Amino acid sequence: MKLNFKFYDALHLAFAEVAEADIFLTTDDRLFRRAKQHSSIIKIPVDNPVSWLINLLQLQGDSNEIK
């Protein structure tokens, strides 16, 4: 199956999967879009580091709110 990743992008994703990383962060928009297109095949979440950090901070903020 051809997913059209560049060689080193595919290699980085493969190593991240083998290492059982929690997430693969990239600023490469092309790689990010392609990974999202194939999210059913890629076994590791892929995100942009800025988006990931914003979401993380929002989740932490939500859990620290007084209810």
Q: Are 24 and 16 in contact (CB under 8 A)?
A: yes
Helices 7-18 & 29-37 angle (0-180, nearest 10): 60
Q: Are 23 and 46 in contact (CB under 8 A)?
A: yes
> What are the tens digits of pLDDT across the range 33-44?
999 999 999 999
What pTM, to 2 d.p., does this model score? 0.82
> What are the tens digits of pLDDT across the range 1-49?
788 999 999 999 999 999 999 999 999 999 999 999 999 999 999 999 9
Q: Are 7 and 27 in contact (CB under 8 A)?
A: no
Q: Where are the domains of the chain?
A: 7-64
